[in-house]
Structure 1
Amino acid sequence: MKKQSLWMTIPVTTAVLLALAGCGGPDSNASSSENSSSPTTTVGEQTESGSGGADFSNENEAAGTQKDTNTSDSKGASGSQEGGNQTVAGQSGVNDVIKQVRNQLKMQDAALPTSFTLDKGTSLGAAILSNSADAFKVNFYATTQSVAVNDQSLTASDSKIPVLASYEVKMYKNPDQDHIFPETDLKDIPADMAVDLGHGIKGMSEGAAGSQYLTWQEGRWTLQIRSVSEDDMNNPGIAKKIVEYLESHTLPIPKDKGYIQIEYPSGGKSVHVTISWQDGNKIHQLKTDQVPLEALGMVVSVKS
């Protein structure tokens, strides 16, 4: 299997109609925290019953070891509960930032993430990097204090403010882009390459050029985890947590394709996640170095 491009869920045991509808069971997505000593806050609108912040750190997936350091209880849309070391907070601050960004975007009915996992005491910042009627790109940041949208401190060349995620939407005459949505055939997985991920979902595991790949499909979404072979990452363990999360959280329904690429560089202690999906003649793409469940939580919260 060829290495997949960086540019970019509902179990098959449910009804065929649901399988055609997109990714996730009743709902679909996740998030995680890499530092168990720092309480984090999930803020913003939640469209599903979960917090969008279930945790597992990258290093805990190595060598077959899995450890959930922070977990949060289920909550309603108001986000008023606390669970473990993670606090699910109010959404007014994030809503204000998203409203300001949306008001400045030239694209009609622009969709944006509305929920983010932030360290306690930090705020959401945003900068619009490109803005036209047929395309936009927004960077979201974790700031130590509230700043205005497009504040110069966010985009200065010497800025040390961490980027939470980059989110962009582009219109295409032909949105079926091979470099974003590579073709993957998972209809007949060889027995020695098949991995049971739970909920009737099977993945295909293979190695190539010093990397390990685990690929599976949920509805119109294709998901792939790549790690360095010598790191002995527990790719199936990571995939099972994603599958479980997507049983109760719903990703956007692609028209017609969605692709999630999770890449662990050498050492396995950092991660790059790219999530792309078609929406008519638009392609949405979110990129983040947050752990996979947090990346999924952002995409679960996307709304116009």
Structure 2
Amino acid sequence: MKKGKKTALLLTILMAGLLTACGGQKQAANSSKKATSEQTSVKKHSKSSQKSSSEKSSAVESTSTSSSQGLTSSSTTTSNSTASNSNNSSTVTRLSVFNQQLRNALGNVILPTTDGLENGSNKLNVRYEGNQANYTISYSVGNTAYQLNDEAVSKEIPYVQFKKTSYGTSSEASAQIDYIKQNDLNGLPTIDLGHNITGYKDAGAGQRYLSWYEGNWSLTVHATAVNQQDPKTLAVQIVNMLESYRLPAPSQYGVIKADVNSSYGSRNQLIMWQQNNVIYQLNAHDITTAIKMAASMK
């Protein structure tokens, strides 16, 4: 009996040991799986963090590049715009400066606000003489841009001279204007100049004249018959121009005398008008220049 009890006790102890060993192995296996799972999770998190960091870095670089390009583009646009504005305003500014200086010297007088030029405005030069009641202003273009009344400007040939002359009465002023009255043209051959304007042709002693009226203005174009010149071409050109350019309104009379023959410095193109007891007069080498300047008077 004692031997059997010992054997049973030994078997019990052995089975208990086996069960304990199996439990330890299972726990170790579970621990190992848990550790592996945690390592995998750490690796995934690390990769995800690196990817997120990379994407953020790329986004920042892209934003920085885009911003930099935007600033460069904006800077270039602003610079070009400034240069363009400077170029566009350079010719106007020169004449405006002269007009301000002339008003400082002569008082509140009317002056042309355009120089009537296609080219050369950046070398426009101006000189004047006289006072507020009576003055002459000469406009010229040289190789150098000078200040108002610079001595060197007196050696340049004016392309336009603008004069103001004051008289004692309005009657005295109107007597200075060679206005052609309708009675002087009656019976002469007529010609259509367009825009419902009728021209009157006159000729004699090798000269040809074509005259018409617009408001208080009488206009005449002169040509030379000897040179087979026809005044109609220039007359039609003037009529068309005056559809776009509004001349000053004379208080009584105004005249335009244009000549087909023209040369620089001749100043044989005349625009003259009356304002009460004052006569304003433009003499130019080109009638289109004179019309542009007269129409811009302020």
Aligned residue-pair number: 209
Distance 1:88 1:208 in 2: 49
Q: Residue 180 in 1 paired to residue 177 in 2?
A: yes
TM-score (normalised: structure 2) = 0.63
Q: Which of 267, 280, 286 is residue 276 of structure 2 equivalent to?
A: 280
Matched with 1:84 is: none
Structure (1 or 2) with the larger CA radius of gyration: 2
8 A contact 2:223–2:230 mirrored in 1:
no
Contact 1:121/1:144 (8 A) holds in 2: no
Q: Distance in 1 between matches of 2:161 and 2:135?
A: 11
CA-to-partner distance for each residue in 1:238-271, whole Å, 9 max, x for gaps? 111111111122000110110011134499xx77
* Structure 2: gaps (5+ residues): 1-83
Other structure's SS at 1:249 match: coil
TM alignment of 1:82-121, pairs within 5 A: 90-105=91-106, 108-116=107-115, 117-120=117-120
Whether the 8 Å CA contact 1:137–1:168 is kept in 2: the answer is: yes
Contact 1:97 1:124 in 2 (8 A): no
Task: Name whichever structure is richer in helix by fraction.
Answer: 2
The structure richer in strand per residue is 1
Give the drift of 1:283: 0.8
Change (3 A) 1:257 1:173: same
Matched, 1:165 2:166: no
Q: CA RMSD in A?
A: 2.8
Instruction: Report the CA distance between 1:173 and its aligned residue.
Output: 2.1
3-state DSSP of counterpart to 1:230: coil
Equivalent in the alignment of 2:136? 137
Deviation of residue 186 (structure 1)? 5.8
Shift of 1:121: 6.9
Per-residue CA deviation, residues 122-173 of structure 1 (Å, 9 max, x unaligned), is 4211111222x42111111112222111100112xxx2x2312111111112
Distance 2:184 2:289 in 1: 29
Residue type of the alignment partner of 2:226: E
Q: Which sections of structure 1, spanning at least 5 residues, go unmatched? A: 1-78, 81-86
Q: 1:219 aligns with which of 188, 199, 215?
A: 215
Q: State the structure with bigger RCO (CA 8 A, min sep 6), 1 or 2.
A: 1
Residues 9-158 of structure 1 aligned to structure 2 (within 5 Å): 90-105=91-106, 108-116=107-115, 117-120=117-120, 122-131=122-131, 133-155=132-154
